[in-house]
Structure 1
Amino acid sequence: MLVMHVNWSDVFSRYMFLYGSKVWALCTKGVERLHWGRRDSMGLWPHLSGKKWPSQWAILLLTLFLQTVVFFYTFIQNPVSLSATEKIRTMNTQMFAHQINHLDSATRLDVNKSSFTGSEDLRFPLEIDMPEIVRRTFAGLAISHKPINQPNFTYVIPNSGKCSRLTARYGKPPELLILIKTAPMNFLRRDAIRLSWGNEKCWGGRRVVRLFLLGTVLPTEKEMSRRLESEANHHNDIVQQDFHDNYYNNTYKLMLGFEWAIRFCSSVPIIMFVDDDFFVYPKNVVAYIEGLSVALRERLFSGYIWQNAMPVRKEVRKRKWSVTWQEYPNSYYPPYVAAGNFFVSMTIAKEISVASKYTQYLRFDDVFLGIILKKLVRTPMHLNHIYAFVPVNESSAQINSMLSSHHYGNPSSQLALWSRLKCREFCIKAST
């Protein structure tokens, strides 16, 4: 081992000559500032002038000075090796780090907390921390905000036992709940769907529940009301609430679906919402759902996404979709999924149901859902195999990979495509 003899007396003398007085001055000034908050007459730290130092600074400086004195008296008469010098350096470094860490923890500075909702770029009531509202609701905790969107509609046809009967029959809950938004007068569309993709036995042996969602007709439409009642009794697949069924009440119809699923079919993992003018390809839908990871199945919200859509303002030719600044005070809609067909997990459905009560009503159901997802800080997943606006090209390869397609309101076209795709081969009784 290499040994180097050091004249420590000379080293210490030079050190004290150059730095000793300044270290001592710093220590004494630290003590003075600790007790009396005197001004920094030496001008060493002008930015601290007139302020009291924290006690930890004075303790740190005094410790450094005392270490120097101890160091001198311990080693001044004894030559040491380089290895001993390294040990001393390591010891001093550790002691200094301990002092600094103690100083950091003891001088934690307070800040004024900011409030974030997760959707600061969206002005739409209520502008609150929606994930926290959901968390407190699920935990049964008190909530300081009151709901602003809680319509009290009554079930005309509840059909509350639909899922429980399937569960009792197979000993397992449904794997998929299909909620079809329909209008009261669309009797032929509903019949075509029951004969094709809406047939619960044509989903490859999976446990599926199909239901049609609708509101009520006008009091003057007695014949239609009578036919609806007869249809519901015969097929046992209609859920109806007492809001008037029209285009601008589609959001109520959508929330009816969420409410019914959570209340009467909460064990189902996935819900598919679809309009009655869509064609659905069961084989591909099953392949899509069963290909999802466990994490995605738990937090699913997917469909055809619209990005950077702008509200229509006072355009006569598009009056159906126009919205005032008072109704929606933003230049762009948040990303939203076309409401004609989308998929949602039960977990996310429950979050949406809670958040909807604290979100101002908007008559466009897909935009309303987009606003809620934005407030929940949830990102929908895009599915380009849903042809939500332009119908699928039946003469191309698109038709074999599609999940669903819009513009099949004609019952004949529904049944024709069902036959062409040989979908009946996927019809089999569900397994127990």
Structure 2
Amino acid sequence: MNLRQLSKYLKKKRNFLKCVVCAIVLWCTYDYFGIGDYLHASSFENDFHYPLDVNIKDLVNEVLSNQKLSVTPINYYPYSFLSNSGKCTNIEKIDLMIVVKSAMDHFGHRDTIRKTYGNEDIPGRTVKILFFLGVDGKPKSDVQRQIDQEMADFHDIIQMDFIDYYYNNTIKTMMSFRWVYEHCSHADYYLFTDDDMYISVNNLLGYLHDRLDASSALQGDLLFTGYVFHSAPQRFRFSKWRVSLEEYRWDRWPDYVTAAAYVLSNKAMRVMYIGSLFVKHFRFDDIYLGIVAKKVGITPEHCPHFYFHKKKFSLDAYEDVIASHGYHDHDELIRVWHEMNCK
């Protein structure tokens, strides 16, 4: 092989290697950003259906009217309540039941809530609050011993025997639904919230009262309200919220309410819980509730007074705020709550 032939050979080899490298880079980009999943997703508008593919509304009506079920439930979580509470016992009327989804070691969060919006002291209204926790799988851990003492002191914690971590939030949410459905099904409204929220119970009750004035049929109303999102699944492989086509194959989510804080009327709570028994589990609780709502025919209602982010505080800005996210600083929550409620 002469020098000219060798030069041509090396040039071809370099060009080939460049093509190979480019192909690898393109494939990695295609895979890493989930481009294929985006391209192959099915149309939500034209093709959405989610197991069970039956008329969930009819099944809900069968349960509510004590009829024999025509379809076997598929989604009853096999967990137990390790503690209980008599907060709803022998109380004929509860205006608002507050259900707080809390992490095991968030002792400060729970204590701060008890000192602020969870103090249950609302003149003329009956408001109750409970905290819902999982377990860490270590029955004799220091954290569990502290929780045992906390339960003995306050009687406001419902603990359940599943591992308490982020991707079990749907289990925590639906077990909370189960508890209120079975033990506190007569509250007018239910506020489900995370333990890092600012909540104005007065503003919430005022909002619900105004809504009652606007609708004489509210007692039967299927209210599901909070901050409503209209969005699509994330397919990026690096995302904490990545969802594959195998898990969910449609190009957008049903409308859903952010799980940080949302309110359900009595009937909506019962319909959503019963409906969930026939709707396949999904690991993100807000998305799951959005799917259940769509299946049972409830349209999430956007309320502009719920903030999924942390709204900057001022007396004027918080005048009509019902919920604001991101209150990890206990002293800040106490200060803001007192400024708004002790004027």
TM-score by length of 2: 0.82
In structure 2, the partner of 1:155 is 81
For 1:391, the aligned partner's letter is: K
For 1:265, the aligned partner's letter is: C
Higher helix fraction (1 or 2): 1
Aligned ranges 1:172-251 → 2 under 5 Å: 172-201=92-121, 203-219=122-138, 222-251=141-170
Q: CA deviation at 1:349?
A: 1.0
Aligned ranges 1:121-136 → 2 under 5 Å: 121-136=47-62
- Spell out structure 1 runs of 4+ moving beyond 4 A: none
| Alignment of 1:364 onto 2:289 | no
CA separation in 2, counterparts of 1:395 and 1:246?
34
For 2:282, the aligned partner's letter is: L
Contact 2:77 2:175 in 1 (8 A): no
Q: CA deviation at 1:297?
A: 4.6
In structure 1, the partner of 2:66 is 140
| Alignment of 1:264 onto 2:183 | yes
CA separation in 2, counterparts of 1:282 and 1:358?
33
Contact 2:101 2:132 in 1 (8 A): yes
Q: CA deviation at 1:187?
A: 0.3
Q: CA deviation at 1:323?
A: 1.2
Bigger CA radius of gyration? 1
Aligned ranges 1:278-289 → 2 under 5 Å: 278-289=197-208
Aligned ranges 1:27-426 → 2 under 5 Å: 121-159=47-85, 161-165=86-90, 167=91, 172-201=92-121, 203-219=122-138, 222-293=141-212, 294-299=216-221, 300-307=223-230, 309-316=231-238, 318=239, 320-388=240-308, 390-395=309-314, 397-421=316-340, 423-424=341-342
Of structures 1 and 2, the one scoring higher in RCO (CA 8 A, sep 6+) is 2
For 2:310, the aligned partner's letter is: P
Contact 1:339 1:366 in 2 (8 A): yes
CA separation in 1, counterparts of 2:338 and 2:324?
16
CA separation in 2, counterparts of 1:401 and 1:121?
40
Which residues of structure 2 form unaligned runs of 5+? 1-44
Which residues of structure 1 form unaligned runs of 5+? 1-118, 426-432
Identity %, equivalent residues: 32
Give the secondary-structure state (helix, strand or coil) at the position aligned to 1:156.
coil
CA separation in 2, counterparts of 1:220 and 1:232?
15
Higher strand fraction (1 or 2): 2
Q: CA deviation at 1:406?
A: 0.3
- Alignment length (residue pairs): 295
TM-score by length of 1: 0.66
Structure 1 vs Structure 2 CA RMSD:
1.7
Q: CA deviation at 1:296?
A: 3.3
Contact 2:59 2:70 in 1 (8 A): no
CA separation in 1, counterparts of 2:158 and 2:324?
24
For 2:227, the aligned partner's letter is: Y
CA separation in 2, counterparts of 1:179 and 1:291?
22
CA separation in 1, counterparts of 2:332 and 2:287?
29
CA separation in 2, counterparts of 1:132 and 1:408?
41
Please give the per-residue CA displacement for 1:3-36, whole angstroms capped at 9, x wherever unaligned: xxxxxxxxxxxxxxxxxxxxxxxxxxxxxxxxxx
CA separation in 2, counterparts of 1:143 and 1:291?
38
Contact 1:305 1:336 in 2 (8 A): yes
Contact 1:335 1:370 in 2 (8 A): yes
Please give the per-residue CA displacement for 1:122-173, whole angstroms capped at 9, x wherever unaligned: 23211111111111222233333222211121111122x21115x1xxxx32
For 2:235, the aligned partner's letter is: R
Residues 306 and 188 (structure 1), Cα distance of their counterparts in 2 relative to 1, 3 Å cut: same
For 1:192, the aligned partner's letter is: T
